[in-house]
Structure 1
Amino acid sequence: MKAAAVHEKRLRHDVMAHVHTLGDVAPKAREIVHLGATSCYVTDNADLILMRESLDALCSSLATVIDALARFAETWKAEPTLGFTHFQPAQLTTVGKRAVLWLFDFVLDLQELERRRDELPFRGAKGTTGTQASFLALFRGDHEKVRQLDQLVAQKMGFDRVFPVTGQTYSRKIDTQILDALSGLAQTAHKWGTDLRLLAHKQEVDEPQEPDQIGSSAMAYKRNPMRAERLCSLARFLMGLPAMAAATHATQWFERTLDDSAARRLYIPQAFLTADALLRIARNVAPGLVVNTPVIARNVREYLPYMATENLMMAAVAAGADRQEVHEEVRKISHAVTAKVKAGTGSTAELLTLLKEKAAFAKLDMTADPRDFYGRSPEQVVEFIAEYVAPIRQKYAGRLGGRAELSV
């Protein structure tokens, strides 16, 4: 590498610096080294090898995250918790069912990363501008030998397909598709991290904390969700990179222009390194999540009367009431109760008492058990893991890692 650096300083060309270096140490091969080839024969094919290996590594790491989150979902599949729409209390769900929502997005990401890895073609031996003219000359006009060389080079590098056509470079469309897939992973990580930050605010679920971890240099009591925050921060960076890849592809003139080179050397490695960092954080957080069941149960109790109203409406209609009329009764009474709660003059428990005074609800059972209101949440967890996670666990058996350590 030091010798190549000396050549590059003089020649101002990275590939030719290595061609000369190879010629220096293999003088008998010097006259044919790089014969018929072009710089992008070396660099593009190398990039494709590196990206495929990186995609494979990310797939294994992501499968580990999926496995850990699935274990979490299995553990908490029947733990009732408040669901939220508009970040306002909605129907009950379970802690495990919510985790399955995160899981499903990660499973979709794994499917996309696997597809990009498995379908990635090799540039192969296409010549200077993709016409294979130089190789056709070397084989004295034998088109079949040129085609065979293309395939053999790809097979030698472990690829079972080649690009059908290229210019001097392979189509930069491939870069955009791969970065879009990495951005998809970042979107999922950001959504998960955001949910964890909101749950930490409600003190329902905490990310792992070290015994001596400090949340604030001033406020000693703080327990900040810094891992989830870092997850979101890195994800935001990764989500911004595909725009550069898209601009590169959109501005490639004819068979190629060199303004792709410097930018690609930044955003492709950065995208993969950032994705790896995201998954490292995820592999640290997922196995260490802490569920604060007393807080969750307290919040469920507070809002349970509201949760019961939909079942009560259905029961009232079954007994002969008009659905729209009972809906209006529930709306007015629940809003009045909420107003008193906000004013500090009432409690949510009054809701069922007030409904009982209405004729449509007078004969209905007003007892409320959280398990009556989370539907098929536990069953959905079991079914999802059996159908989607179990095959992933089987496919990546032996490649699933443990909890990752973070340096900071």
Structure 2
Amino acid sequence: MPRVRLADITPAIALGPLDGRYRPAVADLVDHLSEAALNRARIAVEVEWVIHLCAHAVVPGAPSLSPAEEEYLRGVVDSFGADEIAELAAIERTTVHDVKAVEYFLKRRLAAAPEALGTDTVLPSVGELVHFALTSEDVNNLSYALMVRGAVQQVWFPAAVDLVDQVAALAAEHRALPMLALTHGQPATPTTLGKELAVLAHRLRRQLRRIESDEYLGKLNGATGTYGAHTAAVPGADWQLVSRTFVEHLGLTWNPLTTQIESHDWQSELYGDVARFNRVLHNLATDVWTYISRGVFTQIPVPGATGSSTMPHKVNPIRFENAEANLEISSALLDTLAATLVTSRLQRDLTDSTTQRNIGPAFGHSLLAIDNVRRGLGGLAVDPALLAAELDQNWEVLAEPVQSAMRAASVAGVTGMENPYERLKELTRGHRLTAADMREFIGSLGLPDDVAARLQGMTPASYTGVAADLVDHLTD
């Protein structure tokens, strides 16, 4: 019996995991970055262009549209669903051109307007204002700008903010919890768990501020950016003003100087910022993974879940491992987008057409990673006893404050403080010290009584400087 051909099964089986296994986590991006969303955005741009030309009497003889007629046109966008997607696809099979198919689709809706609005509507007469003086890239660049802006501002950015707020809340909760630091993997000056989490939250917030301020540019200036068709058709119009007001009406920043394409520099800037956010988040995922492996964090078991097919005891940090992988995929895609979209041969090539169709996967894997990390953080508990035990096993970390106090005493004129670093190095390097060892050494140094008492009262757990106070910078 021949094997079932999976490609023939309906509904279609997803080729990639974002539209299959991970669909629930990224579904909101479909409204913004899918092929259907691109076509809906194109229709929206074409509709707004017709309305704009009529509202500003740009083309002599163009009628004014009533509020009902404008509502009808915008309703074509709002009602764009499964039937319309199929109809548009059928048109494109004939045109073999996606933007031309949109033009024909919208002209059909204008022709059908009398049935909805009455025979006195002027909409059938404005059919030739659809795609008037435009090149496909006029429509596409504006559509992508609207799509990416919507995806970032309505889906990705709120999810990223929620994640960073979650990290900041953990930092505040554990602001004063002492923890042995590890530099180069070796015991180092103690810190607090909250301060270390605050560092990551602070880094992530800085990237979010950059992303929040990124611009979304758009252009509308014809086949090679010269307004050639515009001025030939209607030489009396101020086409630069028409273009600027239209682009700004869409909520975008007007780019006045382009070739056939909008240069995509803003996209490169945005994708670079998002990729940098990804990489900081990757650092968080690897740090938390390491804290889990040390036992600083314990994972709360999910009832019924399996950590290993053979080892019943395991609770794997899979959320953070999945996040790492998704962040690497997302960043690689974003890097490619940022690097390739800024180049177009002479006045136009089509490399950006295929490239931009991968914006969705780039944001999808980042959004999935954000979901991974949020769920992972939500399943953690801290083991204060382990942190306390680690600190108590590493009294040698107090060599730093002792030699620093000796330096200060030497500057103040106290004798016998020579070579403080070297003396502490000899005492501690490669040796494990107990509390008694450290206190005995401090007592033998001849430090002023108040200094000696302060140092002898210090423990690794109390030697955290102002780490707890530093967490307050998250609320600056």
Contact 1:333 1:354 in 2 (8 A): no
Q: How does 1:243-392 map to 2 (within 5 A)?
A: 243-249=335-341, 251-266=343-358, 268-303=359-394, 305-317=395-407, 318=409, 320=414, 325-338=419-432, 348-349=434-435, 351-352=437-438, 355=441, 359=445, 364-365=452-453, 366-370=456-460, 372-382=462-472, 384-387=473-476
- The counterpart of 2:224, out of the listed 129, 141, 148, is 129
User: In 2 relative to 1, CA 336–148 (structure 1 residues): closer, same or farther, beyond 3 Å?
Assistant: closer
Which residue of structure 2 lines up, in the alignment, with residue 196 of structure 1?
Answer: 288
SS in 1 for 2:257: coil
User: In 2 relative to 1, CA 322–109 (structure 1 residues): closer, same or farther, beyond 3 Å?
Assistant: farther
Q: Which amino acid aligns with 2:218?
A: F
Alpha-carbon separation, structure 2, partners of 1:184 and 1:336: 38
Contact 1:215 1:224 in 2 (8 A): yes
Alpha-carbon separation, structure 2, partners of 1:14 and 1:225: 45
User: In 2 relative to 1, CA 110–247 (structure 1 residues): closer, same or farther, beyond 3 Å?
Assistant: closer
Cα deviation, residue 167, structure 1: 1.5
User: In 2 relative to 1, CA 192–322 (structure 1 residues): closer, same or farther, beyond 3 Å?
Assistant: farther
Which residue of structure 1 lines up, in the alignment, with residue 172 of structure 2?
Answer: 74
SS in 2 for 1:81: strand
Cα deviation, residue 348, structure 1: 4.5
Alpha-carbon separation, structure 2, partners of 1:40 and 1:97: 49
Contact 1:313 1:323 in 2 (8 A): no
User: In 2 relative to 1, CA 55–327 (structure 1 residues): closer, same or farther, beyond 3 Å?
Assistant: same
Which residue of structure 1 lines up, in the alignment, with residue 197 of structure 2?
Answer: 99
Structure ID, larger Rg: 2
Q: Which structure 2 segments of 5+ residues have no match?
A: 1-84, 112-123
| Aligned-pair identity (%) | 22
- The counterpart of 1:169, out of the listed 257, 261, 281, is 261
- The counterpart of 2:183, out of the listed 73, 78, 85, is 85
Deviations 1:130-179 (A, max 9, x none): 1112222232243x2x12321332233223x3112122111122221121
Alpha-carbon separation, structure 1, partners of 2:418 and 2:270: 51
Cα deviation, residue 323, structure 1: 6.0
SS in 1 for 2:393: helix
User: In 2 relative to 1, CA 372–322 (structure 1 residues): closer, same or farther, beyond 3 Å?
Assistant: farther
- The counterpart of 2:153, out of the listed 40, 51, 56, is 56
SS in 1 for 2:304: coil
Moved over 4 A (4+): 321-324, 347-351, 356-363
Contact 1:7 1:21 in 2 (8 A): yes
Contact 1:196 1:207 in 2 (8 A): no
Alpha-carbon separation, structure 1, partners of 2:347 and 2:436: 74
Cα deviation, residue 17, structure 1: 1.5
Q: For the aligned residues, what is the CA RMSD? A: 2.4
Alpha-carbon separation, structure 2, partners of 1:210 and 1:248: 43
SS in 2 for 1:26: helix
Contact 1:234 1:278 in 2 (8 A): yes
Q: Which amino acid aligns with 2:431?
A: V
Cα deviation, residue 107, structure 1: 0.8
SS in 2 for 1:34: coil
Contact 2:175 2:468 in 1 (8 A): yes
Q: Which structure 1 segments of 5+ residues have no match?
A: 339-346, 388-408
* Paired positions, count: 370
Cα deviation, residue 37, structure 1: 0.9
Cα deviation, residue 372, structure 1: 3.4
Q: How does 1:230-241 map to 2 (within 5 A)?
A: 230-241=322-333
Alpha-carbon separation, structure 2, partners of 1:321 and 1:12: 90
Alpha-carbon separation, structure 2, partners of 1:102 and 1:265: 32
Q: How does 1:41-52 map to 2 (within 5 A)?
A: 41-52=138-149
Alpha-carbon separation, structure 2, partners of 1:211 and 1:321: 65
Contact 1:180 1:242 in 2 (8 A): yes
Which residue of structure 2 lines up, in the alignment, with residue 406 of structure 1?
Answer: none
User: In 2 relative to 1, CA 284–209 (structure 1 residues): closer, same or farther, beyond 3 Å?
Assistant: same
SS in 2 for 1:290: strand
Q: Does 1:17 align with 2:96?
A: no
Alpha-carbon separation, structure 1, partners of 2:159 and 2:307: 28
> If the length of structure 2 is used for normalisation, what is the TM-score?
0.72
- The counterpart of 1:213, out of the listed 277, 302, 305, is 305
Q: Which amino acid aligns with 2:441?
A: L
User: In 2 relative to 1, CA 226–348 (structure 1 residues): closer, same or farther, beyond 3 Å?
Assistant: farther
